[in-house]
Structure 1
Amino acid sequence: RWMPLAAASLPDHAAATILDRLEQAKRPLIVTSYAGRNKDAVPEIVALAETLGIGVLESVPSAMNFPADHPLYQGNQWNDPRQNEALAEADCILVIDSDVPWIPTVSRPDPAAAIFHIDVDPLKEQMPLWHIDAQLSIRADAGTALKQLNDALESRPLDQRAVEERTAHYVAKSRARLAALEAREAKSAGIITPEYLVACVRRHVDAETIVLNEGITNYGVVCDHIRMARPGSIFASGGGSLGWNGGAAIGAKLAAPDKTIVALTGDGSYLFSQPSSVHWIARKYKTPFLQIVFNNHGWKAPRFSALAVHPDGYASRANDLDLSFDPPPDYSAIAAAAGGAHARKVERPEEVEEAVAAAFDVVRKEGRAAVLDVWVN
């Protein structure tokens, strides 16, 4: 028999050390990327944040780690070329299960911040260059460690005025962030914005929906505007390769046949997913899913990468880096030809809501895959 390994826990002294600093902090912050792979860890993060008034920031998230509609949620960060405000003001940071808690050349904590690190792999043994200035790093299961922290809190007297002040600060930040996001969801004249597209998808997402995010340059847009709040409701690959979403959608449907699976993908990652094979397999094994292609007519990510490393280099001045898909392939027709999928090209904003609703109906009522090729600005 092959039994699962027992979950590792915090050493005896660790809970008190971490809680002491979190309680003393003015701006404590939790940073995580994939603690939510363990569904039991999510309510423990919520409980810890609510008890002590801690803000929660997701960094390059590959799971639903903290409810996006929670007032202590401070959003998610990717490779944005700017300093994250919550990270900058934090004076005590608890990093839980994260390979990239921040990118120090662009966005980093205050050097004086106390950092604690709990991770299934705190040494990042397969990464030759990895380090954060943690004063305590612990190999432990996130759900187990967080429960230990919450259990220890039950017997500790708390400064409720300090907790209320911290909570009020993060709630105000969260509300301002949400208002800014909602403003970006408005329908624009003549163009389809990724924000508007994801907002239209969100209206059809229910408690029986799993979202797979391979939006690439729209990773953050998907997280910001799909606003998942249930453990196990959204996943990303967690790796650096592209083309994951198609096979992942089939696997998700096989694992959860009663769920509606929605894969949100860039046009380049759609091609990398081998869509002809994916949709042939989806029909053969009866694993229908909705796939929405963010068609921006080319490789946007390589341009961003070049500008991030060489902001004043040749790429910043060149009119053409030979990254376009022009004319673009008929993405949805590939799926129709290979697997009989419902296929539709969406080029105008007034088409989006009806097209999304119809595609969900095909998947849920007809048991057939659907692909929307959406031309986004």
Structure 2
Amino acid sequence: MSGTRMTENRYPGAWHAVVDFLTDRGVDTVFGLPADDLTVLDALRDSGIRFVLNRDQRNAGFMATGYALQSGAPAVCLIGKGPASTNVLTGVLEAAASAAPLVVLAAGTAVNRRGARAFQELDQVSLLRPLAKWAHRVDHPDRLVPSLEKAFTIAAAGAPGPVYLEIADDLCDTAVTRTRPWRDVAVQYPAPDPAAAATAWSAVRASRRPILLVGGGVRHRNGPGTVEQLATGLGAALFSTASGRGAVDETHELCCGLSGLYSPPEAVELWRDTDLVIALGSRLEETATFGTGFARPGVPVVQVNVDASELSTEFAGPSVVADAGRVVEDWCARLVASRREPDPDWVARAGSVPVRARQRVTADAAEAAASGAPRVAALLARLSERLPAEHVLVQENGLQDMWSYFFPSWCCAGPAGSIVPSEQTSLGFGAAAAAGVKLAAPDRTVVALVGDGAFGMLGADLAVLAEQQVGVLFLVLDNGGYGWLQSQWDKRERDDSGRGDRFRFVAPRGLGALPAAVHRAVVETSDAIGAELDRALKECAAGRVAVLEVPVALSDVPADLDELDGDFPAVEDR
């Protein structure tokens, strides 16, 4: 018996092995702020990996999550220990709620110093474990190689999500030996169980007034447009959740916008009269099922999700635990074989919704443009006219940036993308995530629509983006602070005129000083929007960060939100 044995790879320390692994996996960008030891910088120095050296670990987590959502591949956030892990916690929360494959690589207290009140000692694994798919500490050099491989596999497998891998400080200068090639487990997309798929298909086939609801789990799983093919074949009204935006083409004739809280008023009749909801890759969280923008009680919901833990048990109807892309392909084939014909009346009703909604929004935008003051509706209309086909809008979830959630105030057309916060709506996520999105899609125009409160959370990392020439356009809707909370407090004051004006969530408008390398303009009038957008987009195309500050009034909110009068789930302000 003969053969060859692989030559051993010997690394001077753990972080050199980490960098070699990341290079092998094709990781080209890492976000973070390293521990005091700085050994990882020595390892990164001669690699081809770009290191975005953040000033705030929370922004690092947000940027890496944005990168993961846009690319579909695991993104890396590198941090130190102790408070670094508490700072990144919100980013891990957002990645978990957004199903983003985030890998946090952290420093940890040396084995021989644990329990000795060592500098920045903290049980970080216990802290991160509730939010991560897997949290693990590496204490021995022999465990590093398999642990790295496992971390990346778990982050991407099934329902993607964050993992946390801690490397003890004493491994920084401890030799690590690899005796075999790096092991790469390809992401697998499980096909449906035949019996479960048949049961669900029976319900789908029998429906005459179906609604097809697309969630974030369909992101990167609708490459050939099979979801739109299924909607056309079924004659189904096509909706998405907020996190599902960008997964389908919203210019499709049957696309009716978002479900739940953000559903357009023209679509209420469809939700009232549907006989089946088909939910693909959605957790059916509260904002996606709220109010008249979701089916009435008793209407069955067919759910398809890659992980059983992602299914909602709040609704009746069959479920399929499988990759949504595989199930849609299966159903498209069954649809052809069944010769099922759509209900023409339902198709006509669904097709009329986007037409009527666009007419309303066009009128709203024209009225806003004629008002003189810069209004959000006019800003979105001018932006839509100027952006190239392949762009990505990154959003926050506050009072005025929620304008863009109300299709067709904003429409994700063709290959255009959309990145939104999860139902956790972490303050500042969109502002920071936009940088990760841009680095994941460098050839695309990336615009972040954010409130001034969220933009302020970016802090010193704005200078980092300018230094690294991450050409993002920030449209900052400046209402002087946290407009959502202020608007809700104002409604309470109207109910109780004796309450007074003791609590204020807003202050005089103005963003303060920005780095000199950042292009900045203030849009004072509606007439100036177009020209300022043109200049800003030109700066971004040259790799410069651009900030357009748009003063807006607290009263400039979508009618859909204002009419709810606070009777819906609390949403963090931006």
TM-score normalised according to structure 1 size: 0.85
Tell me what 1:298 maps to. Answer: 481
For 1:64-103, what per-residue CA distance to the aligned partner results, in whole angstroms no more than 9, with x for missing partners?
1322211101111453599861322221001112234555
Instruction: Give the whole-Å Cα distance in 2 for the aligned partners of 1:27 and 1:235.
Output: 30
Tell me what 2:507 maps to. Answer: 326
Tell me what 2:378 maps to. Answer: 196
The CA RMSD over aligned residues, in Å, is: 2.7
Find 1:346's aligned residue among 491, 503, 523: 523
- Asked if the contact 2:282/2:310 (under 8 Å) is kept, the reply is no
Tell me what 1:170 maps to. Answer: 350
Instruction: Give the whole-Å Cα distance in 2 for the aligned partners of 1:173 and 1:375.
Output: 32
For 1:347-369, what per-residue CA distance to the aligned partner results, in whole angstroms no more than 9, with x for missing partners?
221211111111111111x3211
Tell me what 2:545 maps to. Answer: 369
Aligned-pair CA distance for 1:139: 2.3
Find 2:430's aligned residue among 235, 242, 245: 245
Q: Which amino acid aligns with 1:144?
A: R
Tell me what 2:457 maps to. Answer: 272
Indicate how the Cα distance of structure 1 residues 202 and 252 shifts in structure 2: closer, same or farther if over 3 A, else same: same
Residue correspondence of structure 1 range 101-180 to structure 2 within 5 A: 102-103=286-287, 106-107=291-292, 108-124=294-310, 131-158=313-340, 160=341, 162-180=342-360
Indicate how the Cα distance of structure 1 residues 353 and 82 shifts in structure 2: closer, same or farther if over 3 A, else same: closer
Residue 216 of structure 2 is aligned to residue 34 of structure 1: yes
Instruction: Give the whole-Å Cα distance in 1 for the aligned partners of 2:404 and 2:255.
Output: 16
Relative contact order, higher structure (CA 8 A, sep 6+): 1
Gaps of 5+ in 1: none
Gaps of 5+ in 2: 1-182, 554-574
Aligned-pair CA distance for 1:43: 1.0
Greater shift, 347-356 or 61-70, is seen at: 61-70
SS in 2 for 1:155: helix
Q: Which amino acid aligns with 1:184?
A: D
Tell me what 1:233 maps to. Answer: 417
Structure index of larger Rg: 2
For 1:18-41, what per-residue CA distance to the aligned partner results, in whole angstroms no more than 9, with x for missing partners?
333233323210122314422436
The count of residues paired between Structure 1 and Structure 2 equals: 360
SS in 2 for 1:217: coil
Tell me what 2:362 maps to. Answer: 182
Find 1:256's aligned residue among 410, 433, 441: 441
Structure 1 segments (4+ residues) deviating >6 Å: 81-84
Instruction: Give the whole-Å Cα distance in 2 for the aligned partners of 1:360 and 1:268.
Output: 23
Q: Which amino acid aligns with 1:209?
A: H
- Asked if the contact 1:59/1:102 (under 8 Å) is kept, the reply is no
Instruction: Give the whole-Å Cα distance in 2 for the aligned partners of 1:329 and 1:171.
Output: 43
- Asked if the contact 1:60/1:100 (under 8 Å) is kept, the reply is no
Residue correspondence of structure 1 range 199-218 to structure 2 within 5 A: 199-218=381-400
- Asked if the contact 1:215/1:294 (under 8 Å) is kept, the reply is no
Find 1:6's aligned residue among 172, 177, 188: 188
- Asked if the contact 1:283/1:368 (under 8 Å) is kept, the reply is yes
Instruction: Give the whole-Å Cα distance in 2 for the aligned partners of 1:323 and 1:76.
Output: 32
Indicate how the Cα distance of structure 1 residues 189 and 319 shifts in structure 2: closer, same or farther if over 3 A, else same: farther
Aligned-pair CA distance for 1:288: 1.3
SS in 1 for 2:304: strand
Aligned-pair CA distance for 1:324: 3.7
Aligned-pair CA distance for 1:113: 1.2
Aligned-pair CA distance for 1:315: 7.4
Instruction: Give the whole-Å Cα distance in 2 for the aligned partners of 1:89 and 1:143.
Output: 27
Instruction: Give the whole-Å Cα distance in 1 for the aligned partners of 2:282 and 2:500.
Output: 37
Aligned-pair CA distance for 1:231: 4.5
- Asked if the contact 1:245/1:273 (under 8 Å) is kept, the reply is no
Aligned-pair CA distance for 1:270: 1.0
Greater shift, 283-292 or 32-41, is seen at: 32-41
Instruction: Give the whole-Å Cα distance in 1 for the aligned partners of 2:444 and 2:220.
Output: 19
TM-score normalised according to structure 2 size: 0.58
SS in 2 for 1:68: coil
Instruction: Give the whole-Å Cα distance in 2 for the aligned partners of 1:211 and 1:33.
Output: 17
Q: Which amino acid aligns with 2:548?
A: L
Aligned-pair CA distance for 1:196: 0.8
- Asked if the contact 1:59/1:101 (under 8 Å) is kept, the reply is no
Instruction: Give the whole-Å Cα distance in 1 for the aligned partners of 2:393 and 2:323.
Output: 25
Aligned-pair CA distance for 1:319: 6.1
Greater shift, 322-331 or 146-155, is seen at: 322-331
SS in 2 for 1:325: coil
Instruction: Give the whole-Å Cα distance in 2 for the aligned partners of 1:214 and 1:376.
Output: 16
